[in-house]
């Protein structure tokens, strides 16, 4: 079986066995059978527990071997590590080819744990089975109602493929839900980044790949696959265990070697992977790569209700090696006609005095500014700092702005909204497709990374 077919058993199984299913029920019971039913998993679910006849209304089997039909995926949610090898063996005897091991205390722990992890690999060797984990929440695929995590997970169907080494990400980091498909490779004893990346490579449901990396084992294999995949789909990565203190902590988490951070940084760049510095940036990059067009140059236009905000935005651009765009004369002249005589209309544009002078409303001025800046051949992107809009007008105003952006599909437009803007107003703009960020620094960081990725795609 090739690696993609194998990964499909994990990600798109027709049947799942929970080997060592709990009989507890309700919140914090960690009952995966119950959770699969809640998520609306459409395939067959086989609880395995020698002490139960039924679990969550489904017939339970004493062992995996007793399950009548074929089983694509087995999840072993058992905590006592010494009992896990026998359960994995049961799965291989049932000829299950995809196995998730949840329990901890393997390479993340002591010498005995490391030996046990080797024992698991010995059990699957030659059987055709592959293993995710140990120490893993397994996999999630919202379009199939599949999530093998024992914790509460909110799933959203976005075209994202996540590969992580911590359950944090199933819990919703970096935003508020699991945003698409997910594979928690955790200790990564068998299935590693390279295999998981190959699943997403040609998966039609995946447009963006997100990595949380503690360490990579097979560097060469990773680079080969990542370099190929990142030309087809953007890959953004949060590499943690960056410092000696972090790397030490990673040793007792997934047992992977973190490696030198400067080397990792160079490798990620070479592979065309866009690296996020922290969780906030990861969230921003996910939003940007899902919603925004490429950033083809470094020239940014700033259209702001506030002169104070315009200064901060100019600072932020400069800090990220972006340029405050030089506008063409006709653009400046057109704005100058509406401006008080004492003001020089230029980039950054503080449109408050223009609105006062020409008796135009803030949204009118903002729309004119954003449209003119986008139409100017001197800009590659626009940052907009909006004013206060009455909540009842927001939906209409948002539509106007979306319309303007659609006329310039090759230039990213990012809005800075925070502070005085009500959360509901921000949510309304977002829901209509406007990309809102909480600070100009975060926007500049995102634009710089979009440009970096565009440059990678242009290179040979």
Q: Which residues within the stretch 234-263 sit at the binding site for a second copy (CB under 8 A)? A: 240-246, 248-250, 252-254
Rounded Cα distance, 333 and 414, in Å? 25
Stretch that binds a second copy, among 8-16, 203-211, 352-360, 395-403 (CB under 8 A): 352-360
Does position 424 bind a second copy by CB under 8 A? Answer: no
Task: Check binding of 441 to a second copy (CB under 8 A).
Answer: yes
Number of residues that bind a second copy (CB under 8 A): 78
Q: Per-residue x/- mask for a second copy, residues 24 to 63, rule CB under 8 A?
A: ---xx-----------------------------------
User: Could you say which residues in the range 112-171 bind a second copy, by CB under 8 A?
Assistant: 112-113, 151-152, 154, 164-169, 171
Q: Does 79 bind a second copy (CB under 8 A)?
A: yes
Nearer residue to a second copy within complex by CB, 56 or 136 = 136
Nearer Cβ to a second copy (97/212): 212
Integer Cα distance of 28 and 433 in angstroms:
36
Contact 135, 244 (CB under 8 A): no
Q: Does 375 bind a second copy (CB under 8 A)?
A: no
Residue carrying structure tokens 């447009």: 207
Q: Is residue 101 classed as helix, strand or coil in its secondary structure?
A: strand
Binding mask 93-122 for a second copy (x = CB under 8 A): -----------xx--xxx-xx---------
368 binds a second copy (CB under 8 A): no
Instruction: Tell me how far CA of residue 260 lies from CA of 163, 236, 257, 340, 445, in angstroms.
Output: 21, 19, 9, 57, 24
CA neighbor of 386 nearest in space, from 411, 356, 349, 332: 349
Binding status of residue 431 toward a second copy by CB under 8 A: no
CB-wise, 47 or 113, nearer to a second copy? Answer: 113
Residue 362 CB, nearest approach to a second copy (Å):
8
The set of residues, in sequence order, having a beta carbon less than 8 Å from that of 397 and lying 6+ positions away, is 363, 389
Least separation in angstroms between CB 307 and a second copy: 4
Contact criterion met (CB below 8 Å) for 291 and 435: yes
- Binding a second copy by CB under 8 A: which of 420, 424, 458, 460? 420
What are 247's two structure tokens? Answer: 């790397």
Choose between 340 and 433: whose C-beta lies nearer to a second copy.
340
Terminal CA-CA length for the chain: 33
Nearer to a second copy, 71 or 309 (CB): 309
Task: For the segment 303-332, give every residue that binds a second copy (CB under 8 A).
Answer: 306-312, 314-319, 323-324
**SS3 letters for 152-180?**
CCCECCCCEEEEECCHHHCCCCCCCCECC
Cα separation, 293 vs 272, in Å, equals 17
Classify residue 220 as exposed, middle or buried by CB count within 10 Å of its CB (0-12, 13-18, 19+): exposed
């Amino acid at each position: 079986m090739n690696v993609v077919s194998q990964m499909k058993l994990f990600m798109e199984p027709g049947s799942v066995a929970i080997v060592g299913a709990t009989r507890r029920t309700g919140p914090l019971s960690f009952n995966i059978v119950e959770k699969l039913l809640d998520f609306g998993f459409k395939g067959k679910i086989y609880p395995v527990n020698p002490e139960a006849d039924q679990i969550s209304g489904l017939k339970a089997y004493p062992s995996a071997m007793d399950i009548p039909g074929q089983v694509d995926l087995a999840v072993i949610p058992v905590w006592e590590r010494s009992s896990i090898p026998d359960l994995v063996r049961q799965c291989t005897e049932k000829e299950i080819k995809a196995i998730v091991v949840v329990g901890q205390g393997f390479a993340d722990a002591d010498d005995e744990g490391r030996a046990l992890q080797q024992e698991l690999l010995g059990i699957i060797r030659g059987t055709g089975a592959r293993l995710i984990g140990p120490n893993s929440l397994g996999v999630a695929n919202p379009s199939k109602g599949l999530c093998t995590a024992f914790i509460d997970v909110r799933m959203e169907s976005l075209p994202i493929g996540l590969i992580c080494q911590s359950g944090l990400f199933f819990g919703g980091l970096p935003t508020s839900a699991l945003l698409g498909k997910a594979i928690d490779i955790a200790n990564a004893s068998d299935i590693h980044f390279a295999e998981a990346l190959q699943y997403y490579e040609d998966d039609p449901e995946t447009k963006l790949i997100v990595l949380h990396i503690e360490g990579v084992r097979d560097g060469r294999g990773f680079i080969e696959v990542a370099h190929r995949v990142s030309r087809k789909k953007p890959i953004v990565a949060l590499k943690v265990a960056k410092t000696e203190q972090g790397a030490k902590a990673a040793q007792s988490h997934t047992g992977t070697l973190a490696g030198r951070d400067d080397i990792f940084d160079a490798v990620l760049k070479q592979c065309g992977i866009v690296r996020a510095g922290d969780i906030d940036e990861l969230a921003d990059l996910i939003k940007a790569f899902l919603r925004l067009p490429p950033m083809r140059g470094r020239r940014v236009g700033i259209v702001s209700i506030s002169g104070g905000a315009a200064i901060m935005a100019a600072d932020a651009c400069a800090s990220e090696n972006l340029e405050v765009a030089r506008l063409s004369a006709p653009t400046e002249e057109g704005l100058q006609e509406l401006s008080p005589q004492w003001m020089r209309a230029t980039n950054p544009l503080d449109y408050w005095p223009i609105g006062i002078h020409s008796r135009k409303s803030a949204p009118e001025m903002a729309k004119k500014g954003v449209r003119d800046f986008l139409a100017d051949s001197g800009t590659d992107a626009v940052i907009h700092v909006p004013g206060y809009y009455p909540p009842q007008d927001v939906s209409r105003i948002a539509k106007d702005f979306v319309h303007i952006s659609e006329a310039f599909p090759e230039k990213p437009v990012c809005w800075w909204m925070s502070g005085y803007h009500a959360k509901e107003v921000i949510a309304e703009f977002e829901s209509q497709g406007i990309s809102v960020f909480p600070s100009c620094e975060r926007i500049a960081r995102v634009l710089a990374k979009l440009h970096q990725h565009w440059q990678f795609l242009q290179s040979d």
